[in-house]
Structure 1
Amino acid sequence: MRNLVFALCSSVCMAQTNQYTKILLSKKTGMNVHSYSEGYGTAYDSKSNKGSIVDSLGNITFESAGSISHIFKNRFILTSRESPSKTKSAIIDEKGNQVLPFENQSFNTPWLSEERIISSKEGKEAVYDYNGKEIIPYSDQIHFAGKNRFFVLNDKVWSLYDLDGKKVSTREFKEDYPFENGRALIINEDHQSEIIGKDGQTLHKFSTQIYSLASYPYLITKNKITGKYGLVDTNENLLAEEIFDDAAPEYFGAKEYVYLRKKGKATIFNKKDGKLYPNSFKYLTPLFNDLFSVYSDKSKKSGIVNLQGEIIVPQEYDFIQNFSISGKDFIYLKNEKEEKFLDKGLKNILEENTQIIAFYPDQLIIKKQENYYTFSVTDGSVSVMKDIVSIKEQEPHFFNIFNLYSKPVVCRNSSNLYGIMDEKGKEIVPFIYDDIIAFENSENEIVVKKQDRYGVSNFQNEPLKDIIYDKYFWQKEVLRLDKDKKTDILYFTRFRNKGSRL
C-alpha cells in the first residue's frame, strides 16, 4: 500500500472521509485524533496528557488539560475534574472561548441537536442555544419531546415549550410524552387515550385504550382486561375486534399494512381499502402490489402469496427479496437450481443460466457463461466487464432495510490481482492486490493483502493502515490487526450505499 499522504485541505474542498482525515491528522500532529467532523477534530497527547482541538489543516487551535468532546462544527464540551467528586464543564468554540462558562454542570445532547443543549446543574435543568443564550430557565426537569418541542417540569406539572422557549400551551400534563410526526399519544385528565398536536391541542379522544399510533390514522387498541389487541380509526370506528394476541404496524417501506396475529396466524389490515384479510401464515414480508414473501419453518423455504393468502409462487426458494431498480419494482428469487428476477407482471427478465452478482439502484451486475456484465433492466442491454475473471459474491442475507443494494464488487482480473469496481463497472480500487476481503453488514473498511501481509483500505480507496500486519481479525465493531505480537485496533465506520432510500 502506498504510504499515507498528507492530503489535508479545508472542509470546503475536502472530499475524503472523516475517518481518513482523522488518520492523516493523527500522522501530522503526532497525537491520537480520536474524532473528526465538519472541519474540526479532537485529539489527545499521551505525553503531555492534554486534549486538543485540531482544524482540517492540522493546526492546533486550542489545548487543555481537561477532556474535550466535539458536539458539532466549532462547538465543544470542555470538562475539568477538580477532585474525584467535583467536575466542571463549559461549552467552548474552536479557540477555547467559553460560550457557556465553567460550572458544576453536565450537558445533554442525546439527539445531536445543532440548535439547543440542555444543561443540568444542582438538580435543575435549562435549555441554551449554542451562542450561550438561555432559552428555557432552570427547571425541575426538561425532556426533548420531538423535532422542535420540549416538555418542562415545574412543581410536578409538565408544560410544553418550543425551541424558542415559548410556552405553546396553557395545558398541564402529568407526564412527558414523545412526539412522532407532530403527534403524541397521552393519557388525559379523564384517564382516556388522547392524541394531541404539537401545541398541546386535542386531535382525537377515545373511549377505548389506544396502544399505538404508529400506523396513524389507524390505531392499535388493547383491551385492559383481556390484554387482546384490535384496531380502530381516528373516529373510533371498529376495524378489528380486540381478539388478537398481538398487533404490529409495518414499520418500514410503504407502510401499507397492519398485522394482527392470533393462534400463530396473521390477519392483514390493508390501509388502501380498509379491509381485513385473514391469512394462514404467521409472518409475511411485503414485496409490492399486495404480494408477500412467506417462510416455512418446516421446509426452511420461502414463497410468495397475495393478500387473500393464495400461493403465487410455491415455497421452494432459499431467498426472496424485492428491489427497486431504475424506478421499477422487481422480486429476486433464488434456490440451488435457479435464479429469477420477476418484474411487476411476475415475468422473469433473466435469460436461462444467468446469475445476478450485485444489485444497484440503476442496474445489475450479472454473470453468464463465465463472463461478467452490467445489465440494464429497462431495455435488457448488457456491457461486458473487461478482463474480469471472478467476482466475490455477497451473501443474500446482507440485504435488509439498512442495506438495500450491494456494495461495490471485489473483482479478480486475468493477472490474478484484485481490485474493486462500482455499479457502472468503473475501477475504484486498483487491481494491485493479492487479495481483498470485504466484510458483510455495513462495514466500509476492506482488508487488502500483498506478499502475505495485510493492511486496511476502504471503498473510497483511502489507505487506513499500511500493509505490514501478519494477521487480522474481525471483531464486531473493530478490526484487530496483529504484528510482531503487537495489536492495532481500527473501529469500523458504517457503510451506507448511495442507493439507500432511508
Structure 2
Amino acid sequence: MMNRDNMIKAENGKPCIIDSKGKILVQPKIDIDTLYYPSNDFCQVEKDGKYGYIDLNGKLVIPMEYRMAYPFSENGLAFVVSDNGLGGYINIDNEFVIDPVYDSGSTFKFGFAAVSKNGEYKYIYKNGNKAINNTFKYAGGFSECGLAKIQELDGRQGLMDTTSRSILMLKHGCELAEFIEDSRITKFRKNGREALINAAGEIITGFYDRIIISPYSRLNPFLRNGLWGYIDDRGKEVIPNIYKEVSEFEEYKDEMIASVKSYHPLAENNIVNLYINEKDEIIDNSIVEASKQHLKDKFSKVNRVKKALALAVRKERKIYENI
C-alpha cells in the first residue's frame, strides 16, 4: 500500500520537492498530475493515469507509459505494470530485465524481491530466478532491518529473515503489519488490539487499543482508554496518554515536534491545541504557526517532512492583463 506522504497531487499548483525551509529542490520539467517521493535518485510521476519517472533535475527519463510504477530499488530495478495488468522489472534504460508476468512485485532489498502470480507469492533474485524454495500465501518485501512479512499456506502470519529462517510465527487469528519504510518496529493485531514487535521478532509491549508506527521518529502514538500518548521503539511509554488527539512527530528546524489536542477547563470547548517536542515540552504556537504560514504563502499543500525533504504543491502565480 502506498504511503500518502510519498505522493502529492497537482491541485491548485505544481508539484515539487522542497527542503524543510521551503526551498524548491526538485521541480518537474513536464506537466504532471502526481509526484512521488524520491527513491534512489528517481521519482515516479503520473499524468492522465500513465506513469513514468523523472530524475532529481526534474527531467523525464522514463516515459509515462505504464499503468502503475513503483520506486526504484537499490539495485537499479523498478517494478512497473503494463497495460495488460501484469508487471515486471525495468532498468533505468526502460528495458525489461524481468519480464512482465507478475501480478505484484516489491522493491529489491538484500538482493531479493517478493513477487506474486495467480495468488502465489515467492522471492526472486535480480536475474528473475527463484531465490527461496518456499512459496507463500503472501510475502512482502524485505525491510531495512532484514525481515519480511510472510503468510504461510495455512494462513498463519509471521516474519522471515534473509536466510529464509522463520523469526516469528503468530497464532491463527493474529494479523501482522509489515515494517514501514525505515522503521525497526512493526505491530500485530489480535482481538481488535495491537502490540509492538521489534527487529529481532520479539513482542515488546502489551496490547493497546491502537498504535501508529512512525518510521521517521523514535516515538509512536498509542491509544488507550480513549486517550493518546507516545511509545518509543523499545516499547517504553515516553509520553503518557493524556491527549485527546495527536499527530506523528515530524522534523521542525533542529527538533521533532507533534501537534496535540489537550483537555483544558478554561479553553473553548475545553480543548486547547498545542505543539510539543519529544520531551513533552510545549512549544510556542506562534513560532510554529509563523513558520507554517511562510510555507503556506508559497505552497498550497506540504506533506510531512522526512529526511529533510517534503513533497509540496507550489502555488501558481496569477497573471493579470489589462483588457
TM bucket normalised to smaller = 0.5 to 0.7
Three-state SS of the structure 1 residue aligned to 2:263 is coil
Determine whether 1:407 maps to 2:292: yes
Cα 1:325–1:110 shift into 2, 3 Å: closer
Q: How does 1:447-458 map to 2 (within 5 A)?
A: none
CA displacement at 1:317 relative to structure 2: 1.4
Q: Which residue is 2:230 aligned to?
A: 304
Q: Which deviations, in whole Å up to 9, do the C-alpha atoms of 1:291-319 show, x marking residues without a partner?
A: 432224x54x2123456766544432123
Aligned to 1:277: 204
CA offsets per residue over residues 122-176 of structure 1, 9 Å max, x none? xxxxx9xxxxxxxxxxxxxx986764557799xxx9986645475646xx77535
- 8 Å CA contact retained: 1:146, 1:178: no
Deviations 1:308-335 (A, max 9, x none): 7665444321233424333333455541
* 8 Å CA contact 1:160, 1:200 repeated in 2: no
Residue ranges of structure 1 left out of the alignment (5+ in a row): 1-17, 21-36, 41-69, 73-106, 120-126, 128-141, 366-405, 409-421, 424-443, 445-458, 461-492
Q: Structure 1 pair 168/302, CA: closer, same or farther in 2 (3 Å)? A: closer
Would the alpha carbon gap of residues 241 and 355 (structure 1) be closer, same or farther in structure 2, given more than 3 Å must change? Answer: same
Q: Which AA in structure 2 matches 1:111? A: G
Q: What is the match of residue 115 of structure 1?
A: 61
CA distance in 2, matches of 1:498, 1:290: 16
Identity of aligned residues (%): 13
The alpha-carbon distance between structure 1 residues 357 and 239, as it changes in their structure 2 partners (threshold 3 A), is: farther
For 1:82-97, what aligned pairs fall within 5 Å after superposition?
Answer: none
Tell me the equivalent position of 1:324.
251
Provide Cα deviations, 1:327-364, integer angstroms capped at 9, x if missing partner: 33345554133757344xx363x5xxx852353xxxx7
The answer as to whether partners of 1:149 and 1:198 remain within 8 angstroms in 2 is no
Write the letter of the residue equivalent to 2:176. A
1:315 to 231, 238, 241: 241
SS at match of 1:407: helix
What do residues 29-62 of structure 1 show as CA deviations (whole Å, max 9, x unaligned)? xxxxxxxx84x8xxxxxxxxxxxxxxxxxxxxxx
TM value normalised by structure 1: 0.38
Q: State how far apart, in whole Å, the 1-side matches of 2:107 and 2:176 are.
A: 19
Match of 2:20 in 1: none
SS in 1 for 2:115: strand
Determine the structure 2 residue equivalent to 1:294. 222
Letter in 1 for 2:302: R
Q: Which gives a bigger RCO, structure 1 or 2 (Cα 8 Å, sep 6+)?
A: 2
1:436-466: CA deviation from partner (whole Å, max 9, x where unpaired): xxxxxxxx6xxxxxxxxxxxxxx24xxxxxx
- Structure 2 gap segments, 5+ residues each: 1-11, 15-27, 34-47, 55-59, 265-271, 311-323
Change (3 A) 1:184 1:499: closer
One-letter code aligned to 2:276:
F
Q: For residues 167-193 of structure 1, give each alpha carbon's deviation from its aligned partner in whole angstroms, at most 9, with x where no partner exists.
A: 646xx775354342465312589x974
Q: CA deviation at 1:221?
A: 1.6
Secondary structure class of the residue paired with 1:195: strand
Once residues 340 and 151 of structure 1 are traced to their aligned partners in structure 2, the CA distance between those partners, rounded to angstroms, is 41
Confirm whether residue 219 of structure 1 aligns to residue 104 of structure 2.
Answer: no
Residue 199 of structure 1: SS of its match in structure 2? Answer: coil
Distance 1:151 1:118, change over 3 A: same
Residues 186 and 198, structure 2, Cα contact 8 Å, conserved in 1? yes
| Displacement of 1:219 | 1.4
- Which residue of 237, 240, 245 corresponds with 2:174? 245
Q: Is the 8 A contact 1:149 1:162 kept in 2?
A: yes
> Would the alpha carbon gap of residues 320 and 221 (structure 1) be closer, same or farther in structure 2, given more than 3 Å must change?
same
Matches of 2:135 and 2:261 in 1, distance apart? 49
**Alpha-carbon contact 1:259-1:266 (below 8 Å) kept:** yes
Call closer, same or farther: CA 1:257–1:71 in 2, change over 3 Å: closer
Number of the residue aligned with 1:495: 301
Q: Tell me the equivalent position of 1:229.
A: 157
Contact 2:180–2:213 (CA under 8 A) maintained in structure 1: no
- What whole-Å deviation, never above 9, does each CA across 1:253-280 have from its counterpart, x for those lacking one? x422121111122232212x54321422
Secondary structure of the residue aligned to 2:149 is strand
Q: CA deviation at 1:214?
A: 5.9
Aligned length: 244
Q: Aligned with 1:357: secondary structure? A: helix
Q: TM-score, normalised by structure 2?
A: 0.55
Residue 206 of structure 1 aligns to a residue whose secondary structure is: coil
Take 1:168 and 1:342, find their aligned partners in 2: how far apart are those partners? 47
User: What is the identity, as a one-letter code, of the residue corresponding to 1:341?
Assistant: I
Is the contact made by 2:198 and 2:234 (CA closer than 8 Å) also made in structure 1? no
For the structure 1 residues 196 and 280, does the alpha-carbon distance in structure 2 shift closer, same or farther, using more than 3 Å as the test? same
